[in-house]
């Protein structure tokens, strides 16, 4: 312990930029091999595993791993240790680290509110664009804005007046810039604080996402009159490099239909995205133009006469709705005259999302719109995976993400700006649902213990299922409305399973991305047709990680709710099992009430009390017959028959029973039958209960309930044995405890 104290002493307090950085020493095999990974254990707190482990110097079974923590929170270290302790097998006492944390000076928090999330991987912000000149000239600008913004905790809530569904929908984002706030403000709050970090070797990417006409280009590229973020950042960077130690180069490219084109080299626009032997991404054929003054940059970036225009050939043949990227490379020059890349800043103006089912398109535009939406979907899958700290990020599904892979990984920061049209636009609402889902992700502590648990329980009946991300419990209201309106009543209940769908990996329809593409391939322009891979960009986010809290073993008090939630709330006395003759009595009125409440939900599973009644009847059948002890003593065959009558599911015993063991044998058989019946009923309940009923069970709750519904979609009866419950992330012990509590409650 003494040696460990020295290693983790406050001397190891480092400064990384303005942020304090604590290096702690944690002996945990769960962190071995996770070097470079970020671990976040609360909204604001995260740490980076600075070095991997290995056998402890002094031998023994200890593994060691340095964890470098970057934080502005005084108590972060102890919180981190607590979260590790939740996972178990955490070798060193968390108290030790609490002591270290307490001995450090509290860090300053002088950063602006809007950049409070700088340590976070992905910051989700929104901008409600101002009215365009055209809109100002028309009546449109005088109509009521469909978006209201409210403060909510650390972030803000956007409320949309959905004129289609006549509903108000609320979505969370980190911050929202209003119509009267200009691009310069976004620059000083969101971009400027990152510039120094890029000079210190980090990468920063700013992505503008939104429906068409949301103001993405206005924000990123701007114009000569209204400077966009690209111009503002270059101005600031050029001021910073005035000392002469750095040089700046820029690349501008677009991703059009899964092909990357260099916008600064009209002769050879196609860029190859390759990976070198060190798995570093190379953009072969992409020009990097040195920039020394703002004027030079302006010519490249803004001027219509610049090379920053699609080549003539492409302009004539293809409609240009594409993702555009500005890449600013900062290079450090050494004395020998050679330069080395220090950091990158990327500004991405994504093509606008447009629901092609709502809008009418001709074949070419439909195809184009479909491809754009697919590529947006793929990019969001990547951002989602990064934000959720998932072990697999589906870079290969998105050409743009692949081209930017170096900037996304490691010590990088991503901001997603959702550009909103203030006028009513269903596509805008759709894009915000996506923003909100990204925002709701709570990245998890990644540890092999949790992984192991998930992996070991990853199959039901030999089938492998992918768990939905824990945050994926919101359904796009627009989609829900559309889908529901086309479904018969009976199907609507089942449709609620969509709630638990993977964030960006559910059917595209659920995400509003599904596009019908009649004769799409035939309409593809020749230039790209043969090269376009026919892959579906929808990716199931890899969800190996599991939230530590979900690993927590149910306490007795928790699990006691299982039964109490199952029995009808009124007449609890009736529902409890006191004696053989007092088996659960389910109040008929209650059943009727529950059934009435489900009338609108034809096809939904029977109410919980009906299921409980079935369970009670089974138990009654088993326990109402007096124990046949005397008969057992008289005739073995008679005993076996009586057992068979009571428990038709129990295999017939054909061998001769030893009379001396008969009594206990019969009892244990009876008990096992009872157990079987109870288990079967419980499983039947899980296989058929409605989402609301499932949510009521302690240990199941909302996320597991929606996951159960999803499993049921794949297989009508996903739970065949108690082992299958482990698919829900419950350990065998937790399942056993749940069952014990059910029984205990029945007989209490
Ligand atoms: N903040 C703003 N203030 C005033 N006008 C704006 C603002 N943002 C955008 N506009 C105007 O709104 C219109 C659409 O903006 P812009 O072209 O940037 O949208 P976009 O999201 O890039 O569209 P697309 O998806 O089609 O590329 C333009 O006329 C632009 O001048």
State residue 474's pLDDT score: 32
Q: From the CA of 426, how far away is ligand 1's center (Å)? A: 17
CA distances from 2 to 6, 8, 166, 710 (A): 6, 10, 65, 51
Task: Identify which of 34-48, 110-124, 144-158, 205-219 has the greatest average pLDDT.
Answer: 205-219
Residue 126 pLDDT > 80: yes
Label residue 742 by pLDDT band (50, 70, 90). Answer: confident
Q: Between 330 and 438, whose confidence is greater?
A: 330
Residue 487 pLDDT > 50: no
State residue 491's pLDDT score: 35
DSSP SS3 for 275:
strand
- For ligand 1, mutation pick of 215, 431, 432 (most atoms within 8 Å of CB): 215
Residue 414 pLDDT > 70: yes
Give the tens place of pLDDT for each residue, 525-536. Answer: 332 323 333 333
Over residues 402-421, the mean pLDDT reads: 87
Mean residue pLDDT of the chain comes to 62
Label residue 179 by pLDDT band (50, 70, 90). Answer: confident
Binding-site residues for ATP: 210-217
Q: Between 401 and 93, whose confidence is greater?
A: 401
Query: Does 215 contact ligand 1 (Cβ within 6 A)?
Result: yes
Give the tens place of pLDDT for each residue, 655-688. Answer: 444 444 445 556 665 666 777 788 888 888 888 8
Q: From the CA of 130, how far away is ligand 1's center (Å)? A: 8
Over residues 560-574, the mean pLDDT reads: 32
State residue 694's pLDDT score: 81
State residue 166's pLDDT score: 59
State residue 452's pLDDT score: 36
CA distances from 140 to 133, 146, 358, 427, 431 (A): 11, 12, 21, 18, 22
Token pair recorded at residue 217: 């280009």
Q: Between 168 and 376, whose confidence is greater?
A: 376
Query: Does 229 contact ligand 1 (Cβ within 6 A)?
Result: no
CA atoms within 13 A on the CB side of 218: 20
State residue 407's pLDDT score: 87
Given a contact cutoff of 8 angstroms between Cβ atoms, the answer to whether 123 and 414 are in contact is yes
Shortest-distance Cα residue to atom 24 of ligand 1: 212
State residue 180's pLDDT score: 87
The answer for residues whose C-beta is within 8 angstroms of residue 269's C-beta and 6 or more apart is 261, 262, 263, 310, 311, 314
Q: Between 667 and 109, whose confidence is greater?
A: 667
Query: Does 228 contact ligand 1 (Cβ within 6 A)?
Result: no
Give the tens place of pLDDT for each residue, 257-311. Answer: 889 999 888 776 789 999 887 778 889 999 999 999 999 999 889 875 444 444 4
DSSP SS3 for 629:
helix
SS (H, E, C) 355-387: CCCCCCCCHHHHHHHHHHHHHHHHHHHHHHHHH
Shortest-distance Cα residue to atom 5 of ligand 1: 132
What span, in angstroms and rounded, lies between the C-alpha atoms of 449 and 443? Answer: 16
Residue 402 pLDDT > 70: yes
Binding-site residues: 210-217
* Burial of 85 from C-beta contacts in 10 A (0-12 / 13-18 / 19+): middle
Q: From the CA of 591, how far away is ligand 1's center (Å)? A: 57
Q: Between 336 and 516, whose confidence is greater?
A: 336
State residue 104's pLDDT score: 30
Task: Identify which of 61-65, 356-360, 694-698 has the greatest average pLDDT.
Answer: 694-698
Q: Quick one: what percent of the chain has pLDDT higher than 90?
A: 12
Residue 512 pLDDT > 50: no
Give the tens place of pLDDT for each residue, 211-270. Answer: 888 899 999 999 888 899 999 999 999 988 876 788 999 999 999 888 999 988 877 678
Give the tens place of pLDDT for each residue, 13-64. Answer: 333 333 344 445 555 555 555 555 555 544 445 555 554 444 444 344 444 5
Q: How high is the ipTM of this complex? A: 0.97
Task: Identify which of 398-412, 505-519, 659-673, 720-734 has the greatest average pLDDT.
Answer: 398-412
For tokens 């989609």, the residue is 479
Sign, CA dihedral 725-730-733-734, equals: negative
Over residues 531-555, the mean pLDDT reads: 31
Label residue 144 by pLDDT band (50, 70, 90). Answer: low
Q: Among 86-100, 107-121, 433-447, where is mean pLDDT lowest?
A: 86-100
- For ligand 1, mutation pick of 218, 222, 229, 422 (most atoms within 8 Å of CB): 218
Residue 698 pLDDT > 80: no
Query: Does 216 contact ligand 1 (Cβ within 6 A)?
Result: yes
């Amino acid at each position: 312990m003494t040696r460990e104290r020295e290693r983790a002493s406050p001397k190891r307090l480092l400064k990384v930029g303005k942020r304090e950085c604590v290096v702690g020493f944690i002996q945990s095999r769960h962190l071995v091999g996770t070097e470079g990974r970020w671990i976040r254990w609360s909204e604001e707190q995260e740490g980076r595993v600075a070095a991997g482990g290995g056998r402890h110097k002094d031998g023994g079974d200890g593994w060691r791993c340095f964890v470098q923590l970057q934080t502005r929170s005084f108590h972060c270290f102890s919180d981190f240790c607590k979260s590790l302790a939740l996972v178990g097998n955490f070798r060193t006492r968390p108290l030790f680290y609490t002591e270290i944390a307490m001995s450090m000076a509290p860090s300053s928090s002088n950063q602006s509110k809007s950049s409070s999330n700088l340590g976070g991987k992905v910051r989700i912000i929104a901008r409600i664009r101002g009215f365009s000149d055209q809109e100002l000239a028309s009546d449109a600008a005088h109509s009521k804005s469909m978006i209201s913004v409210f403060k909510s905790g650390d972030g803000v809530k956007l409320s949309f007046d959905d004129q289609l569904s006549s509903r108000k929908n609320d979505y969370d984002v980190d911050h929202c810039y209003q119509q009267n706030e200009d691009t310069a403000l976004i620059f000083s709050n969101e971009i400027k604080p990152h510039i120094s970090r890029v000079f210190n070797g980090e990468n920063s990417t700013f992505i503008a996402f939104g429906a068409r006409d949301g103001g993405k280009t206005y924000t990123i590229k701007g114009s000569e009159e209204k400077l966009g973020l690209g111009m503002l950042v270059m101005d600031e960077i050029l001021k910073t490099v005035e000392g002469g130690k750095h040089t700046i180069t820029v690349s501008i490219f677009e991703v059009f239909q899964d092909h990357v084109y260099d916008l600064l080299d009209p002769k050879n626009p196609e860029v190859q995205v390759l990976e070198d032997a060190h798995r570093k991404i190379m953009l072969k054929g992409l020009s990097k133009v040195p920039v020394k003054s703002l004027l030079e940059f302006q010519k490249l970036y803004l001027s219509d006469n610049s090379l920053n225009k699609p080549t003539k050939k492409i302009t004539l043949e293809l409609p240009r709705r594409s993702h555009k990227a500005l890449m600013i490379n900062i290079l450090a020059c050494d004395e020998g005259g050679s330069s080395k890349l220090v950091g990158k800043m990327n500004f991405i103006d994504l093509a606008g999302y447009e629901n092609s089912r709502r809008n009418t398109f001709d074949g070419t535009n439909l195809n184009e719109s479909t491809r754009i939406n697919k590529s947006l979907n793929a990019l969001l899958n990547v951002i989602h995976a990064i934000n959720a700290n998932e072990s697999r990020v589906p870079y290969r599904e998105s050409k743009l993400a692949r081209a930017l892979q170096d900037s996304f990984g490691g010590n990088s920061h991503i901001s997603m700006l959702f550009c909103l049209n203030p006028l009513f636009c269903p596509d805008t609402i759709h894009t915000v649902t996506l923003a909100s889902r990204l925002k709701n992700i709570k990245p998890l502590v990644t540890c092999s213990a949790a992984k192991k648990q998930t992996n070991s329980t990853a199959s039901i009946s030999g089938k492998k299922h992918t768990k939905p991300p824990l945050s994926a419990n919101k359904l796009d209201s627009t989609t829900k409305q559309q889908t529901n309106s086309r479904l018969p009543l009976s199907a609507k209940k089942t449709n609620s399973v969509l709630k638990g769908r993977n964030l960006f990996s559910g059917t595209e329809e659920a995400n509003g991305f599904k596009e019908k593409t009649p004769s799409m391939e035939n309409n593809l322009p020749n230039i790209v047709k043969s090269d376009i891979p026919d892959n579906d960009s929808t990716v199931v986010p890899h969800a190996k990680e599991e939230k530590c809290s979900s690993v927590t073993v149910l306490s007795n008090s928790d699990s006691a709710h299982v039964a109490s939630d199952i029995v009808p709330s009124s007449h609890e006395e009736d529902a409890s099992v006191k004696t053989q003759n007092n088996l659960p009595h389910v109040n008929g009125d209650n059943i009727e009430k529950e059934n009435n409440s489900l009338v609108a939900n034809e096809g939904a599973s029977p109410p919980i009390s009906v299921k409980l009644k079935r369970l009670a009847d089974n138990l009654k059948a088993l326990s109402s017959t007096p124990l046949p002890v005397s008969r057992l003593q008289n005739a073995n065959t008679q005993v076996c028959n009586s057992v068979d009558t009571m428990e038709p599911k129990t295999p017939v015993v054909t061998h001769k029973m030893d009379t001396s063991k008969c009594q206990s044998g019969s009892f244990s058989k009876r008990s096992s039958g009872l157990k079987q019946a109870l288990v079967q009923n419980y499983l039947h309940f899980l296989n058929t209960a409605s989402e609301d009923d499932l949510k009521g069970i302690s240990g199941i709750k909302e996320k597991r309930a929606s996951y159960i519904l999803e499993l049921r979609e794949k297989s009508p009866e996903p739970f065949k044995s108690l082992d299958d419950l482990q698919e829900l992330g419950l350990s065998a012990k937790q399942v056993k405890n749940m069952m014990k509590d059910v029984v205990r409650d029945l007989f209490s």
